[in-house]
Structure 1
Amino acid sequence: MRRSIVILFLFVQAFAFAQTKQMSLEDAVYGRYTYLYPESMTGLQWMDDEHFSFVEDKSIVAESAKTGEKDTVVSLDELNEIAGTKFKSIPSYSWLCETDLLLSSANKYWVVDIDQKHVEFQIELPNGAENANFSEEARFVAFTQKDDLYVAFADGTTKQITNDGGNGIVNGQTVHRNEFGISGGIFNSPEGNFVAFYRKDESMVKDYPLVDFMAREAEYTPVKYPMAGMESHHVTLGVYNIETGKTTFLKTGEPLDHFLTNVAWSPDEKTIYMAELNREQNHMQLNCYDVTTGDKVKTLFEETSDSYVEPLYPIQFSKVNPNEFYYLSRRDGWFHVYKYNTDGELVQKITKGEWEVTKMLGFDANEKSLFIEATIDDPLQNNIYKVDVKSGKTVRLSLETGVHGGTLSPDATYLLDSWSAKEVAGKVDLISANGKDKRTIFESGDPIKDYQLGENRLVSLKTKDGKYDLHGRFILPVDFDPAKKYPVVVYVYGGPHSQLVTKGWHNQARWWQYYMASQGYIAFTLDNRGTSNRGRAFETAIHRNLGILATEDQMQGVEYLLSLPYVDANRIGVHGWSYGGFMTLNLKLKHPEIFKVAVAGGPVVDWSMYEIMYGERYMDMPQENPEGYKKSDMTNYVENLEGKLMLIHGVQDETVVMQHSMKFLRECVKQNKQVDFFAYPVHPHNVRGKDRVHLMEKVSQYFFENL
């Protein structure tokens, strides 16, 4: 009995000791993405209808979805022997069929027959090759070198597709600064007979002066940066015929500064479909072009808006009926799935309701059931649903609260559900498409279980007009005592395409916020109007007036904080980066009576100095919206500056150029307002790597010393 008591005592002591470990700044910043990052299943993907594969113990392992039986497909040593390489770990891979494995590493590609244990073919790209796009069907890799486009074939030959790159001409790369869902500039056709590619002419865009100060003599390293209201680049889409070597450009016409987005091939490779958006971004046409002639065949449909239209997803052709396709659009105010025919006629609206479809995962064989990720039950969650195409009835397949992401098996019988929740660091479940069966195939340990963390709570508030819910998260200090008063640091972003508060792991908190809580601060974050997954009206409420309603919403969060008896109303600070830096300045300068200390990183100060694609979408052109630009120009509020403010900026920032901070600092000098400033040489918009620890120490120390 006594021995049992001693063991229990030792266990309790060990548990208590484990829970008193404090998070260091290095833990919070560097560890967040390394040793304190949850384990995951590397290389997880479907191998065939029944089996999925993943990397385990330096091998690719296959597991049966039906039985759970595992089998080693190929070991690292075997791969090295087959491919004649010296991989130190399993490289990036994907299955082309049940037996053919595509490997890629350091500009080399191998297709390996796993059954026969031999390399079917390999392709090696030259040094400097970028933007590689592999075509399984035609056994080639399209890639760019500098500003030209090439194709490397399995027989060892390489063809140059373009030869006009340079001097403002860029081929085969992303355009429109990666807006509109664009993530690449090369589009191989389904059967590999053609390569479509973007050609960008930015010769008319003024060179923006960046300087490399690390050279023996500082060097001028200009970039093309089209600012709101100024001249924009011109983009066309070329189509290269692999057999004939001929390139045809689609006749997309004028004005030349419109936007070409969401490129999609027809299954028969005869036509290309593309969303075309005017410079004003309020009128979109889905157009079809003939690949051989480049002529426009038809406009299938159009979308217009009083604010903006933002096409993000290419159409997806039906595999049952090649004359029909599916389109994910926000035309009714929420992202939903529509079925059209190739005459542009609406066949069916498949999903509907005041919630967002966040991803289409695929269909069953007859396309009677659609699998999606969506926010049906909660905008703070992402769940997997099965939709009956005919009736629109939905069934939730991921049952646990959290943020889920699914991968559908080729025959749509199973899904791999990778998810996290507040107290679930990472988990992968295998679920059946009928919703009847589920088993866990992987669960990550909690890498911060030994740390003493402040309590993490979610809070729901209302906008000032009572129209919308606002979701926030706050973290209480370690060893919280409700009888004491605590300072608060508000972390803010607040811009479009963002959501900082979810029901994912730790409610998506940053470890830096836990670090500040360990130092005796309350850490608070709120998603204001303009952020994601809340519908078009919630997002576009900020149009032409950035910072106005968002600041009002953030102040609703502050009002809530001030209602708490343990909040020190005289010690509230705010920090944010990029759009969050802009919001930090809004809060600090418009409410100096509330915010004692602020740190604005990479802040947008004047939207007329931001780039066209993003800036004009949300603000229109400066000449069209002078009052909106005036109200959102932070230099117009410098006279309100009180307390402590620090600006931080990366010297090589190509996203929010240094000019923003310089303009703000100049105005502070003119008005005799004291402000602190720190620059990070060699860093672009974000300070990464070990230097980020230096950055966050700078930010943290500023609050420690002044708040």
Structure 2
Amino acid sequence: MKFSRIIAVIGFLVTTLVTAQNKQISLEDIWNGTFRTEGMQALHSMNNGKQYSVLNFDRSARTASIDIYDYKTLKKVKTLVNSSDLEGIQAFFDYSFSKDESKILLTTQSQPVFRRSTLGEYYIYDTNTKGLSKLSENLVQEPTFSPDGSKVAYGFQNNLYVKDLSSGETKQLTFDGKKNSIINGITDWVYEEEFSFVRAFDWNADGDKIAFIRFDETEVPEFSMDVFGSGLYQTQQVFKYPKAGEKNSKVSLHLYDLKSDTLTEIKVDKSYDDFYIARLNWTNDADVLSAQYMNRHQNELDLWMIDTAKSTSKLVLAETDKAYVDVTFNLTFLKDNSFIWTSEKNGYNHIYHYTKDGELINQVTDGDWEVTNYYGFDEDSKTIFYQSVENGSINRDVYSVKLNGKNKKRLTKRDGTNSASFSADFTYFINTHSSATSPQEYTLNDSKSGKLIKSIKDNDKLAQKVNDYVTSKKEFSTISVNGNELNMWMIKPADFDPNKKYPLFMYQYSGPGSQQVANRWNGTNDYWYQHLAQEGYIVACVDGRGTGLKGAAFKKVTQNELGKYEVEDQIEAAKKLGALPYIDESRIGIWGWSYGGFMSSNALFKGNDVFKMAIAVAPVTSWRFYDTIYTERYMTTPQENPSGYDGNSPINHVDKLKGDFLLIHGSGDDNVHLQNTMRMVEALVQANKQFEWMVYPDKNHGIYGGNTRLHLYTKMTDFIHKTLGDKRVKSDKKEEVKSKIKG
């Protein structure tokens, strides 16, 4: 009896193990959190350099806490605040410290406005008194402590306010703010989307002045979107959106002096006609403000130093480029107000050191590779910490180098994607590492040597879970296309047979400076590609000309002709891959989202003898429909470059459609408007071309919420099976048989 039970148990375990190792990735698995990674949320290095804080959330109790850990031991030192101890707050989901860490701003509610902007409910927690106070009864934007932590500035209904935390009094600084007209201190739609910032105000070092950008949207054309909701009548969202060639907001720079209670406009010693103020930063001098001005073509960037006490300005740096100059967040002022700057002026993005007057001291990094992130400068050791692709363009590593450019060290040792968060005193850094074969792991490292001290958090359980499924290796390589060696990855079915022929499904994004071929852990799409590989498809991705991290010339070759060289590369890559003995050249498809949807549409139309099908999600169909800052950076205006706009817009090539086409969009997309798809649909109809399409009601550019993503990917998967899969072949054979019988 006992023996038979043991045999039965062993049999059960063997069966379970075999079954587990052959689990198939379902679409439900991808979107229900099965493959979710664990991370370190809201990581912050404490001022003492010895400790760090993270946000922890107790899902069962639905409470949040800010917990302090010791770098050296990694042990929890204390809980700084727990929402269970705060009256009137169930939980918070984000936090920020005042400079001296005596106060904490807690975010308890948030409503999205656009991609980066939110309206939020905020509380201020005093770590000394344990007191809690609400910042405002209103939902406000971008609350920011003054340097001494005594005040908080924020935006509300397009005006700026300052709250004195001692007296509790709130002072309104501007009064002309009006929806779709005037915005003070918060960016307009196009600045937020394309210059990647929302807070357009900044405190000076003494906390007695606030500089801000004012946006006059009065002449910017309005765009409206129907919001269908669940009511009997739809409503409309109306906002200012400058499309290529149209009028932008008129921007101006202003200063509020809290001591004198005066508001003045700041002007620089140069007359600008149509321009952007792309960045705003105070220097360490409480009277000196830096501002970055750009011309509308974005091929000239001026860095100004403005003495607000003397009302004088000085142009300290002027960058120019035949194509465009990238704007970054890397400007850093040292104690002597000399500054660190990054630039592509030698053909690759590198770090430079300038005097406060803009004289070049030295180029800190150099080589045929790109600096991809700047982490900071340690004044004591005169060391800069940064991330780059020196170890191959699909990898990222963390490096240190002296300010004089000497003694460069590679601090991370494992190939893949490494990113760092440094302690306040630069003694340690927490490294996040992942690769195509290993999920995110957080480790404590020594900043001088890069030496691994301890592992903080890993995703070994996830790795084991993934190992229980049938998966295929992501194979990295290069492919020679149109005179360039392009980065590529490929995923083959786990039971790949080189003697069989497989359909090929290609993915790309292809936007300027982007990268999809990277040695990092799976995103959700990667699990979808594994699912497709299980179903018998080969999936490949090629980063063509115009993508990033291979130098300015490679990236900017697409200038004035977006969609020309990138499409040529995808078509040629598909031809080369189709010539492989194990790929069925008659069954090649391509897909993409946003810029990728623009590309997949063009590839199907222009490469109609190569691609059998394409899926375009939220595509731009004509650059005339997209915004000024992004489009004109690469294309100038449609008035100046009409052929560049029209010659490569898929809406103008619908007559070439031969294969199967699936077009998808969200009706609430404030970024790439549904207008793009509607105009494409009309063009296809008038060209008498059959196609399939889907509109997701009230969904934005990300098309998510509830079951939306599962529905979307199910629809795309079914379309792939119908147009590329073996079912299509069987169906075609049935039709042949039927026709013969009838004949």
Larger CA deviation: 93-102 vs 16-25: 93-102
Write the distance in 1 (CA, Å) between the matches of 2:566 and 2:217.
34
Q: Does 1:207 align with 2:241?
A: no
Question: Which stretches in structure 2 are left out of the alignment for 5+ residues?
Answer: 59-64, 110-120, 725-743
SS of residue matched to 2:567: helix
In structure 2, which of residues 184, 187, 197 is the aligned counterpart of residue 171 of structure 1?
Answer: 184
Query: What's the CA shift for 1:640?
Result: 0.9
Match of 2:114 in 1: none
Query: What's the CA shift for 1:390?
Result: 2.2
Q: Match of 2:124, as an amino acid?
A: W
Write the distance in 2 (CA, Å) between the matches of 1:251 and 1:465.
49
Query: What's the CA shift for 1:643?
Result: 1.8
| Structure 1 contact 429–442 (Cα < 8 Å) conserved | yes
Larger CA deviation: 348-357 vs 163-172: 163-172
Structure-2 change in CA distance of 1:304 and 1:677 (3 Å) = same
In structure 2, which of residues 374, 390, 400 is the aligned counterpart of residue 386 of structure 1?
Answer: 400
In structure 2, which of residues 23, 28, 33 is the aligned counterpart of residue 26 of structure 1?
Answer: 28
| Structure 1 contact 455–477 (Cα < 8 Å) conserved | no
Question: Which stretches in structure 1 are left out of the alignment for 5+ residues?
Answer: none
Deviations 1:279-333 (A, max 9, x none): 111111111223246x4511112111111112222521103x23x1111122222
In structure 1, which of residues 345, 348, 353 is the aligned counterpart of residue 362 of structure 2?
Answer: 348
Write the distance in 2 (CA, Å) between the matches of 1:596 and 1:90.
46
| Structure 1 contact 422–507 (Cα < 8 Å) conserved | no
In structure 2, which of residues 177, 197, 210 is the aligned counterpart of residue 182 of structure 1?
Answer: 197
| Structure 1 contact 133–186 (Cα < 8 Å) conserved | no
Deviations 1:556-582 (A, max 9, x none): 431342132221111111111110111
Write the distance in 2 (CA, Å) between the matches of 1:498 and 1:586.
18
Query: What's the CA shift for 1:120?
Result: 5.8
In structure 1, which of residues 390, 393, 409 is the aligned counterpart of residue 423 of structure 2?
Answer: 409
Write the distance in 2 (CA, Å) between the matches of 1:192 and 1:441.
37
Query: What's the CA shift for 1:436?
Result: 6.1
Match of 1:451 in 2: 469
| Structure 1 contact 263–314 (Cα < 8 Å) conserved | no
In structure 1, which of residues 461, 476, 489 is the aligned counterpart of residue 479 of structure 2?
Answer: 461
In structure 2, which of residues 596, 599, 602 is the aligned counterpart of residue 580 of structure 1?
Answer: 596
Structure-2 change in CA distance of 1:631 and 1:41 (3 Å) = same
In structure 2, which of residues 171, 183, 202 is the aligned counterpart of residue 159 of structure 1?
Answer: 171
Deviations 1:609-663 (A, max 9, x none): 2111001111111122222122212233122110211211211222122222222
Match of 1:484 in 2: 500
Match of 1:692 in 2: 709
| Structure 2 contact 177–184 (Cα < 8 Å) conserved | yes
Write the distance in 2 (CA, Å) between the matches of 1:410 and 1:615.
39
| Structure 2 contact 142–198 (Cα < 8 Å) conserved | no
- 1:232-631 matched pairs, under 5 angstroms: 232-252=248-268, 254-292=271-309, 295-313=311-329, 315-319=331-335, 321-322=336-337, 324-435=338-449, 437-438=451-452, 439-445=454-460, 446=462, 447-466=465-484, 469-506=485-522, 510-631=526-647
Percent of aligned positions with the same letter in both sequences? 31
Match of 1:667 in 2: 683
Deviations 1:489-521 (A, max 9, x none): 212211024211211114996222122222222
Write the distance in 1 (CA, Å) between the matches of 2:228 and 2:585.
43
| Structure 1 contact 472–557 (Cα < 8 Å) conserved | no
Q: Does 1:65 align with 2:81?
A: no
| Structure 2 contact 95–104 (Cα < 8 Å) conserved | no
Match of 2:18 in 1: 16
Match of 2:113 in 1: none
| Structure 1 contact 456–506 (Cα < 8 Å) conserved | no
| Structure 2 contact 579–585 (Cα < 8 Å) conserved | no
SS of residue matched to 2:161: strand
SS of residue matched to 1:54: strand
Query: What's the CA shift for 1:46?
Result: 2.0
Query: What's the CA shift for 1:480?
Result: 2.7
Deviations 1:312-362 (A, max 9, x none): 22521103x23x111112222222111111211111111111111122212
Write the distance in 2 (CA, Å) between the matches of 1:393 and 1:11.
56
Write the distance in 2 (CA, Å) between the matches of 1:545 and 1:71.
55
| Structure 1 contact 287–296 (Cα < 8 Å) conserved | no
Query: What's the CA shift for 1:541?
Result: 0.8
Match of 2:117 in 1: none
Write the distance in 2 (CA, Å) between the matches of 1:7 and 1:42.
42
With structure 2 as the length reference, what TM-score do the two structures score?
A: 0.87
Q: Does 1:678 align with 2:678?
A: no
Q: Match of 1:229, as an amino acid?
A: G
Write the distance in 1 (CA, Å) between the matches of 2:93 and 2:688.
59
Write the distance in 1 (CA, Å) between the matches of 2:392 and 2:459.
25
| Structure 1 contact 233–257 (Cα < 8 Å) conserved | no
Write the distance in 2 (CA, Å) between the matches of 1:398 and 1:76.
34
Query: What's the CA shift for 1:387?
Result: 0.6
Structure-2 change in CA distance of 1:69 and 1:608 (3 Å) = closer
Structure-2 change in CA distance of 1:670 and 1:270 (3 Å) = same
- 1:122-141 matched pairs, under 5 angstroms: 122-141=133-152
Write the distance in 2 (CA, Å) between the matches of 1:656 and 1:202.
20
In structure 1, which of residues 635, 639, 661 is the aligned counterpart of residue 655 of structure 2?
Answer: 639
With structure 1 as the length reference, what TM-score do the two structures score?
A: 0.92
Query: What's the CA shift for 1:69?
Result: 5.8
In structure 1, which of residues 176, 193, 197 is the aligned counterpart of residue 212 of structure 2?
Answer: 197
Write the distance in 2 (CA, Å) between the matches of 1:44 and 1:296.
40
How many residues align structurally?
A: 692
